[in-house]
Copies of this chain bind each other. A is one copy, B any other.
Amino acid sequence: MTIDFDKSGGLVPAIAQDAETGLVLMLAWMNREAFDETVRTGRACYFSRSRNRLWRKGEESGNVQEVREIFVDCDADTILLKVRQIGDAACHEGYRSCFFRRLDKDQVTVIGDRVFDPKQVYGKHPV
């Protein structure tokens, strides 16, 4: 099975979904190295576009993602991880899911519940 890393310049989107609840936690990016490390270690490793380096999810907060299953889509250019999210929050803002804001016609509603205060977790590196 070959992932098509070339289509989007070396990176493919990777969706992380909570293996138990089905909650979509986040979307990040993987290059081949990140994907291979994820497969090898069983922990989600992404590629940070802003930092331009591998991003071992939870490396700072401790909120790693244990990978239960890996799926690839029909075009082989998107990855879906079913994970166990350590610390219960995938989002650096402290929410379970990064998708904590719902858009309605004329307003934004925060629907996610905050699990931690980012200031406590990322004390040395303000977000």
B-binding residues in A (CB < 8 A): 1, 13, 15, 17, 21-24, 26-27, 39, 69-75, 78, 80, 91-93, 95, 98-103, 105, 108, 111
Residue in contact with A39 in the complex, picked from B23, B72, B103, CB distance below 8 Å: B103
Contact A27 B78, CB 8 Å, known A22-B22, A108-B1:
yes
Instruction: Find chain B residues with CB under 8 A from A39 CB.
Output: 103, 105
Instruction: Find chain B residues with CB under 8 A from A21 CB.
Output: 22
Say how many copies of this protein the assembly contains.
2
Instruction: Find chain B residues with CB under 8 A from A75 CB.
Output: 98
Instruction: Find chain B residues with CB under 8 A from A103 CB.
Output: 1, 39, 70-72
A84 to chain B, nearest CB (A): 16
Instruction: Find chain B residues with CB under 8 A from A111 CB.
Output: 71
